[in-house]
Structure 1
Amino acid sequence: MSQRFQFLFPWLVTAVSVAAMCGLGFWQLERMVEKQQRLASIAQKQSNESLSLTDALMEEDPRDIAISFVGTPDGERALLLDNQIHEQKVGFDVFAPVLTNAGWILVNYGWIPAPDLTRTIPQVNLSSATRQFDGIVTVPGDNPLVTETNVSLPSFPALVQQIAFKSLSESLNVALLPYVVELTSKDPAFVRDYKPVVMPPEKHLGYAVQWFGLAIAAAAIGGFAISKKGRIHE
């Protein structure tokens, strides 16, 4: 039994390793296809004219739709999304709740640099006047590694670690729509460089090729080592 285990164990380890690497390769290919479909959807949606916010929210999937609407921002209650990187510099994305004819929605005004490296909260001056907004409807991703979602009330601008609609709605005492509007018009006070797809499909293909290459190498090296060991014991 012991000799049989000693014979099968190296093959089992090699097979599991190769299967895991192939699985990661196929996963990267699936991600590539998803990104290609997302980019095609974005191109199709943004080739049309801008919709109103209410019309966009009536769509089955409002993400990536260009919109133009009038709203009244609550400029006194700005939110700063922490640890946002732009061109290797640490800063914040500035958000504010905006009252529209469709309800309250968070608007991302753009990125600002951190004043220093000691997590000093920068001063943000946002107008509360009714105005027109032009942007893209988005849904922020959920980071499972971030558990802190409460707003540091009562002081504003308030620092947040992620955009969690339920927690923010409770803290701000408003019913927020489950979307964010990324502003696209130029503003010298903010950096607006929204990228709906951060990693292009080509990178996923490259990673898939690497994983498949590693699987082939592991199979070859494992098979050679096991066969060589077997010849030694003959």
Structure 2
Amino acid sequence: MHPAAIAAALAGIALFVALGTWQVRRAHEKEALFAAFEGAARQAPVSLEQARREAGVRYPAVESTGHFDPARAYVLDNQVRDGRPGVIVYDVFEPSSGGPAMLVARGFLARDARGRLPTIPPPPQGAQTVRALYAPPPGSGLRLGGNALPRQSDWPKTTIYLDLDEVAADLGRPLDARVLLQLPGDEVSTFVREWKPDVFPPERHYAYAFTWYTFAAVVAATFFILHRPSRRTRPEEPR
């Protein structure tokens, strides 16, 4: 049995096991993240100022008073909830406490069977108290086609990416680095407000871990098959 073959097999098995273990660890981290995200909605809200000071991996519930911009909004297209395509509507919110403006995700609106959207309800006017999760903006993934916002003249503007720097440039005012995901209230709303972290779910990591562990098992099995001792032939009996 060649020492180089043994070393290569052991290195491959160790690598695949390490990758699988890393994916399991990531799955556990995502489970904790999802649990924290769900628990935040049930916690007593903090002020927006406190949430900004303590921004990190947490998704605190906040309560902020301010005014919505009645003329400007953004529609994030290509969204799916429970198998139904639709959009998430983001309105511009000016906190009364000061600081940069916020984008408030008011919720998900599903398209009908013909792919049409219902009429988007305008934001409430006057001073409003918003209860929401203070969370990072949705990831943009692979960008194709550039920034389409400056080419649109009608409001609300539709986009398939939510880049806060591009939105801030489009608005001509600074924006907070996070967004507010509005939580369900007592009012009757056409929006669906069921929020989850915009990351891979734990199940995806467990699937990746299974794949890496399978690779490790295949390497071990292949090595054993190719290098198992051959059966010794019985010596011929003397005639």
TM-score, length-scaled by structure 1 = 0.77
**Aligned-CA RMSD value:** 3.4
For residue 215 of structure 1, what is the aligned residue in structure 2? 215
More helix by share: 1
Is the Cα contact below 8 Å between 2:86 and 2:110 reproduced in 1?
yes
For residue 84 of structure 2, what is the aligned residue in structure 1? 89
CA 122–16 in structure 1, closer or farther in 2 if over 3 Å, else same: farther
Q: Which amino acid aligns with 1:28?
A: Q
Shift of 1:77: 1.4
For residue 52 of structure 1, what is the aligned residue in structure 2? 47
For residue 104 of structure 1, what is the aligned residue in structure 2? 101
CA 133–150 in structure 1, closer or farther in 2 if over 3 Å, else same: same
**1:49 & 1:73 partners in 2: Cα distance?**
23
**2:124 & 2:62 partners in 1: Cα distance?**
20
Is the Cα contact below 8 Å between 2:164 and 2:177 reproduced in 1?
yes
SS of 2:217's equivalent in the other structure is helix
For residue 162 of structure 1, what is the aligned residue in structure 2? 161
SS of 2:192's equivalent in the other structure is coil
1:178-211 superposed Cα distances (whole Å, 9 cap, x missing partner): 1110000244210111123766647644653x23
Pairing partner for 2:143 from 141, 146, 159: 146
Is the Cα contact below 8 Å between 2:60 and 2:133 reproduced in 1?
yes
Shift of 1:173: 1.2
Is the Cα contact below 8 Å between 1:82 and 1:160 reproduced in 2?
yes
For residue 122 of structure 2, what is the aligned residue in structure 1? 126
CA 165–39 in structure 1, closer or farther in 2 if over 3 Å, else same: same
1:10-89 alignment to 2 at 5 Å?
12=8, 18-19=13-14, 21-39=16-34, 41-42=36-37, 48-61=43-56, 63-89=58-84
Greater Cα radius of gyration, structure 1 or 2: 2
**1:194 & 1:178 partners in 2: Cα distance?**
18
Shift of 1:95: 0.3
Is the Cα contact below 8 Å between 2:17 and 2:213 reproduced in 1?
no
**2:20 & 2:55 partners in 1: Cα distance?**
32
Is the Cα contact below 8 Å between 2:45 and 2:60 reproduced in 1?
yes
Q: Which amino acid aligns with 1:81?
A: L
SS of 2:143's equivalent in the other structure is coil
**1:21 & 1:44 partners in 2: Cα distance?**
35
Shift of 1:49: 2.1
**2:14 & 2:140 partners in 1: Cα distance?**
28
Shift of 1:10: 11
Shift of 1:46: 5.7
Is the Cα contact below 8 Å between 2:74 and 2:89 reproduced in 1?
yes
Aligned length: 223
**1:224 & 1:62 partners in 2: Cα distance?**
45
* Unpaired runs of at least 5, structure 2: 231-239
Percent identity for Structure 1 against Structure 2: 23
1:153-179 superposed Cα distances (whole Å, 9 cap, x missing partner): 211121112221111111111211111
**1:197 & 1:166 partners in 2: Cα distance?**
18
SS of 1:74's equivalent in the other structure is strand
